[in-house]
Structure 1
Amino acid sequence: MGRVIGFELNSQEPEKAAEFYSKVFGWEIAEPKWDYWAVTTGKNVKPGIDGGIGRGPNDYPYGTRIQIEVDSIDEAISIAKNNGAMIVREKMEFDDFYLAYLVDPVGLGFGLIQNKLKVSES
């Protein structure tokens, strides 16, 4: 529980950001879904994470957030709140996962993700 599995770059010009990171770093940018462009930063031969570029919402128009995978998003939200976090976006449901955005006690934003389908670890 609690592994960083991705990042999110928010911009009001996500197309421009996607073009920049693709040209400068060679990142593979997927076609957008929900104003979100999935990003593959490289081959899985070295440690690293993938992420995405999104059109930043009104409450977070620009910036970078890490995405942390948890086993139970409801439990993680409760524990985070009890330890001083503020909820920016309550739990949202998507096809394959739940997502919520929080801010820690020192002002750093992060996302929590709970996958709906458990994948067996080999």
Structure 2
Amino acid sequence: MSRVIHFEIPAVKPERAVEFYKKAFGWKIEKWAGPMDYWNITTGGAKEPGIDGAIMSIDGAIKQVVNTIGVENLAAAAKKIIAAGGKRVSPDQAVPGIGYFAYFADTEGNPFGLMQNDPSAK
């Protein structure tokens, strides 16, 4: 079974959003060292229930909070989503050292991401 493993909060001004979430909830937020304007969020300790996420610059395509679902095989999961009536919103993307990712939308237009873990991704 696939589970929600991550969330993304879009922001026009990521630094402003970072300060808001730090002050409002005490979250630990650090800029990602990767190639995009992306801020990793730690919402609590490893033994506490919940998931971590990120704040991302709005790129025009996604303007809502997005949940990411972990899958074993991105291509196979994409086929199931399309067969169930969902739509692909982005092409597959390699996230170096983490895995492969793509955005989709459900039958109601709600966006979500899929992540296939693969530390060898480049």
TM-score by length of 1: 0.90
SS of residue in 2 equivalent to 1:59: coil
Residue deviations 1:63-121 (CA, integer Å, cap 9, x gap): 20101000000000011001111111011112121000000001111000001149xxx
Per the TM alignment, residue 23 of structure 1 is displaced from its structure 2 partner at its CA by 0.8
Q: Match of 2:4?
A: 4
8 Å Cα contact 2:11-2:17 kept in structure 1: yes
8 Å Cα contact 1:39-1:50 kept in structure 2: yes
SS of residue in 1 equivalent to 2:24: helix
After TM superposition, which residue ranges in structure 1, 4 or more long, deviate above 2 angstroms? none
1:114 maps to a residue whose letter is Q
8 Å Cα contact 2:88-2:103 kept in structure 1: yes
Percent same amino acid among aligned pairs? 38
Per the TM alignment, residue 10 of structure 1 is displaced from its structure 2 partner at its CA by 0.7
8 Å Cα contact 1:36-1:54 kept in structure 2: yes
- Paired with 1:45 and 1:92, the residues of 2 have a C-alpha distance of 30
Q: Match of 1:30?
A: 30
Q: Match of 1:66?
A: 67
SS of residue in 1 equivalent to 2:90: strand
8 Å Cα contact 1:11-1:63 kept in structure 2: no
8 Å Cα contact 1:71-1:114 kept in structure 2: yes
- Paired with 1:45 and 1:20, the residues of 2 have a C-alpha distance of 25
Mark the runs of 5 or more structure 1 residues left unpaired by the alignment.
Answer: none
2:74 maps to a residue whose letter is I
TM-score by length of 2: 0.90
Residue deviations 1:13-52 (CA, integer Å, cap 9, x gap): 1111111000110000012341110000011232111000
Q: Match of 1:106?
A: 108
8 Å Cα contact 2:64-2:111 kept in structure 1: no
